[in-house]
Structure 1
Amino acid sequence: MVQPSENASTTIQKLAPEVLTEIFLRCVAISSDEYSNLCQLRDPSQAPLLLGRVCSRWRMVSVSSPDLWSNLTIEDHFSSQENIKKDLVAANLWISRSGSRPLSIRINFGWTFGTEEFPQLLQLVASQSWRWKHIDVLIPLEFHHMIFAPFQTGCLPRLENFSCATLNDPKPEHVCSLTVSSAPQLQVLRLVGGLGPHIDFSGNINHLRTIRITIERDPGMPGILSLRDFLTCLTHCPLLEDLAFPIAEISTAHLQDIPSVITLSHLLSLSLVFPSGNDVGYLFEKLFLPALIRLHLSMEHHDDHYVDWRYLTSMLAHSRPHLQDLRLDFPMAEATLIESLSYIPSLTSLSLDSVECTDAVLASLTIDNSNPSKGLCPNLETIDFGSTYSTLNFPRHAMIPMILSRRRSLASTGLTNRNALENVRCGALTFGSILFDPDIVKCVDEGLKIEYGHDEDEDSNSNSDENDLSDDYDEDDSSDD
């Protein structure tokens, strides 16, 4: 039997505190752009709390290492008053131990049951806004003004990433303001739920690279963000790479100073939701987006009298992006759609909702293997024809040739440089009629997926047992060597 070395247990005890601290930091290290693994506030089975339970020396080193305590998660799936009291005590201790280090904090509280301690917890976090670095919160809507308050004081010199999701039905009194210039280092802004705050993008040119705003509004519900806000965002955020923006009001009364061309040379992804009408296109067609690879456009609550949104074509014509993913949810005439697709041969995924699936559209997507120059978007792997009335009576005689032309052996035709169609989706029940075609049956046997409706990814969240904190937050508590 191999006996353990007597020196093995004491070797680590001889390490200098600076070296031991570096080892401890490896236990809680996170990357600068991903903080999904922030330390649980009251979990004694994980670092840094676990480190202080090994021996008195480890406790002394860990407690005196501020970087160990600057990344924390505050969450309680049950939100009982007793648990929130414990969170408040624990958060105070972590913040005191973190010294003046930049803070990365996640708060996950869907419900609070009216506890008095929860607002105190948010006030504690907000009081440290001068050293916020990454903030990710999920809280009831009635409390979000407490997290937004630092944007009014202008005390966010270190903030790089701010994500806020709110729960509960929004009311006009819940609207807050967010001044982007208060956080000069801000790179990522994500907002989900509620009416959305009024966002002031004016001021100096900022460093924002990601803006994702998701607001679910019922018909008739007032919105906050306007076409003017969208214009200010575009002209003050030249480094944007990812933009999702819901426009609620599209008046052009104060848009006389629009530049003739608005260039966003870094923008890779754009998702734009806008109300029915043409006014937003007045701005959209001025965009020059040469790097764009993902474009999702959706019109809210359009009526049957609106039949064509023409502005996409002009943007694609002068931008000529290497677009890969295009999703359109608004009425568009077949000629407009066909012309738009002619400018983006790089497309691999196409989703059309509220767009008529006509003979001409399907013919334009049909590949002529003897003449590769005919047939738009030869690299399409996924085509989704939507789930609206416009696909109920699609032309079967045109759909089958389109599918087959994109499934025929590419090697046999010498077209080895293009992709094969892998997925076809449609919400109409009559779509199943093509499954009786023997050539389509063969394609399905060879791997083609024909689906009804749209895929919806469901995140499965598992709840873990909560660990009670015993003596971990007693400053006088220590372990013996």
Structure 2
Amino acid sequence: MPPLTALPFDIISQIFVRCLPEDPSPSPTEAPLLLARICRELRDVALATHHLWDTLDVEINPKTIASKVLLLEAWVPRAGNLPRSIGLTYHGGGRSQVHDVMLSRNEIPLLSTLLARYAPHWTVVNLHIPMLGLTRLHPPAEGFASLRKLVLDCGSFPEDKENEFCAFLDSPRLRELHIISRGSVKPISLPWAQLTILRLDNPTVVQSLEALVLVPNLVKFTCRVSPVIGRTPLAPPPLAHLESLALVLSERHAYPLLLQYLTVPALLHLALDFHDPQQMMALELPALITRSRCSLRRLSVKLTSRRECTEAHYRELFHPLHSLEELEFIEMHAVALETGLHLLKAHPELLPNLTTVNIEQVDGFVDPALLADLVDSRRHSPVQLKTVKVSSPSPPEYMMP
């Protein structure tokens, strides 16, 4: 077999790109730095392969932050004209919790330098930095001209203008925002009206609604709601462009507390991660559908609890969804899943426009005979159930009919 160096440059480059970890880091034991240490010939290939250098995930602390600035200067230019992504995680004082540390006055300029040096080139920025460090970052003069996605993992923001965060205010292409925080988004100054994708982790219902007021052009919203209720929420204006809504929560009563304030006339996809079957009864979906006058096309259901799920639970969930075409069950226990399938088989009038059922990663065995009976029960309906797909470790994936 000829040596690797005998292969064409393009082939070696493709091999090297496939060696990259999910989050490339400046580690001498991982690609791309490891690839540059094999031999001179392969080092030249690695340094000339732009895709090896377009993503960087860096952990910094008070002792290494200055050296990381130098690393960035050596790493980033090798990406050529490709879009670049950076992730920065700050650890200070030997503590394990990012949110509990404070940045010194000397560290703030260095941290700003890490972002600002190549600010026009970043398309994705992922920051795991203490809140007070973020609020003191200096925005680069040229802004973030290429930034499309921003992730902020920063703990809680104080609700005062003194600690306002505005480093990314000048980001004309920013469309996607992910905030991992227990605080209000009010101190975060961003081009909110541009956003089309928003994900919030750990906000209260009130904080979720406060954020929705800021994003009139939102198309996709994902929220993992905190069980804390807080003060009385204020409903945002109708979300006229929202097509996809995903809610994840473990507490029983937070779903209706959020949904009862939303009006979503363009909603097409609703994803619900239930903890308890009783949440299905508390959803108030009929009120949401009636108020919004939306034509929901796809419903994704995930039920993490193994508590008994009755036909009454499913009937409450399915009853208002006359326009639904695709039903998806994810990571559900087979017993709870089969209860819903039996209901759909016995009552074809439920979900009358259903054409597709997808079942992913089911916990247990789903009886193929039940799936066949479900398809057969709707064979003479005006709209037939055409596809039932099961993807599970056991049995292997199969498709019907």
TM-score tier (shorter): 0.5 to 0.7
- Please, which of 345, 362, 365 is the counterpart of residue 343 of structure 2? 365
Give 1:143-182 correspondences, 5 Å limit: 143-147=130-134, 149=136, 155-165=143-153, 170=155, 177-178=164-165, 181-182=169-170
- Deviation of 1:50 (Å): 2.5
**What secondary structure, in the 3-state scheme, does the structure 2 residue paired with 1:340 have?**
coil
**Which residue is equivalent to 2:240?**
263
**Which residue is equivalent to 1:243?**
222
Alpha carbons of 1:66 and 1:252: their partners in 2 closer, same or farther (altered >3 Å)?
A: same
- Deviation of 1:186 (Å): 0.8
Gaps of 5+ in 1: 13-19, 387-399, 425-443, 449-481
**Which residue is equivalent to 1:91?**
72
1:383, 1:52 → 2: CA distance?
Answer: 42
**What letter corresponds to residue 123 of structure 2 in structure 1?**
H
- Please, which of 107, 112, 115 is the counterpart of residue 123 of structure 1? 112
- Please, which of 301, 316, 320 is the counterpart of residue 289 of structure 2? 316
- Deviation of 1:183 (Å): 1.9
Q: What do residues 265-316 of structure 1 show as CA deviations (whole Å, max 9, x unaligned)?
A: 6x334336697496644532x2113432x4226799xxx9x99646422443
1:188, 1:27 → 2: CA distance?
Answer: 31
**Which residue is equivalent to 1:466?**
none
2:39, 2:178 → 1: CA distance?
Answer: 37
**Which residue is equivalent to 1:107?**
88
CA contact (8 A) 1:366 1:403 kept: no
Q: What do residues 141-171 of structure 1 show as CA deviations (whole Å, max 9, x unaligned)?
A: 5x344346558778333211222335xxx56
Match status 1:337 vs 2:294: no
- Deviation of 1:133 (Å): 1.7
CA contact (8 A) 1:227 1:251 kept: no
Give 1:211-250 correspondences, 5 Å limit: 211-215=198-202, 225-233=207-215, 235=216, 237-238=217-218, 240-244=219-223, 246=225
- Please, which of 25, 32, 36 is the counterpart of residue 50 of structure 1? 36
1:188, 1:44 → 2: CA distance?
Answer: 29
Alpha carbons of 1:337 and 1:281: their partners in 2 closer, same or farther (altered >3 Å)?
A: same
CA contact (8 A) 1:210 1:242 kept: yes
**What secondary structure, in the 3-state scheme, does the structure 2 residue paired with 1:182 have?**
coil
Give 1:75-86 correspondences, 5 Å limit: 75=58, 86=67
CA contact (8 A) 2:185 2:210 kept: no
CA contact (8 A) 2:150 2:178 kept: yes
Give 1:324-473 correspondences, 5 Å limit: 324-327=299-302, 336-349=316-329, 365-368=343-346, 372-373=348-349, 379-382=356-359, 405-406=370-371, 408=373, 410=375, 417-419=385-387
Higher RCO (C-alpha 8 Å, min separation 6) = 1
**Which residue is equivalent to 1:469?**
none
**Which residue is equivalent to 1:438?**
none
**What secondary structure, in the 3-state scheme, does the structure 1 residue paired with 2:87 have?**
strand
Alpha carbons of 1:308 and 1:90: their partners in 2 closer, same or farther (altered >3 Å)?
A: same
CA contact (8 A) 2:175 2:196 kept: yes
**What secondary structure, in the 3-state scheme, does the structure 2 residue paired with 1:106 have?**
strand
Matched residues, percent identical? 9
**What letter corresponds to residue 127 of structure 1 in structure 2?**
A
**What letter corresponds to residue 205 of structure 1 in structure 2?**
A
Q: What do residues 422-452 of structure 1 show as CA deviations (whole Å, max 9, x unaligned)?
A: 599xxxxxxxxxxxxxxxxxxx99999xxxx
1:348, 1:223 → 2: CA distance?
Answer: 26
1:203, 1:83 → 2: CA distance?
Answer: 32
CA contact (8 A) 2:50 2:79 kept: yes
- Deviation of 1:185 (Å): 0.7
**What secondary structure, in the 3-state scheme, does the structure 2 residue paired with 1:90 have?**
helix
1:202, 1:135 → 2: CA distance?
Answer: 15
**What secondary structure, in the 3-state scheme, does the structure 1 residue paired with 2:214 have?**
helix
1:149, 1:422 → 2: CA distance?
Answer: 50
CA contact (8 A) 2:24 2:55 kept: yes
CA contact (8 A) 1:48 1:69 kept: no
TM-score of the superposition, structure 1-length normalised?
A: 0.51
**What secondary structure, in the 3-state scheme, does the structure 1 residue paired with 2:326 have?**
coil
TM-score of the superposition, structure 2-length normalised?
A: 0.59
Larger CA Rg, structure 1 vs 2: 1
- Deviation of 1:228 (Å): 3.2
Q: What do residues 32-90 of structure 1 show as CA deviations (whole Å, max 9, x unaligned)?
A: xx9946563766963698299738x969x96xx897897352445xx787766654442
Q: What do residues 195-215 of structure 1 show as CA deviations (whole Å, max 9, x unaligned)?
A: 475465886731x34322212
- Deviation of 1:323 (Å): 0.8
**Which residue is equivalent to 1:291?**
268
**Which residue is equivalent to 1:134?**
123
Gaps of 5+ in 2: 96-102, 305-309
CA contact (8 A) 1:107 1:138 kept: yes
CA contact (8 A) 2:57 2:88 kept: yes
**What letter corresponds to residue 126 of structure 1 in structure 2?**
L
**What secondary structure, in the 3-state scheme, does the structure 1 residue paired with 2:174 have?**
coil
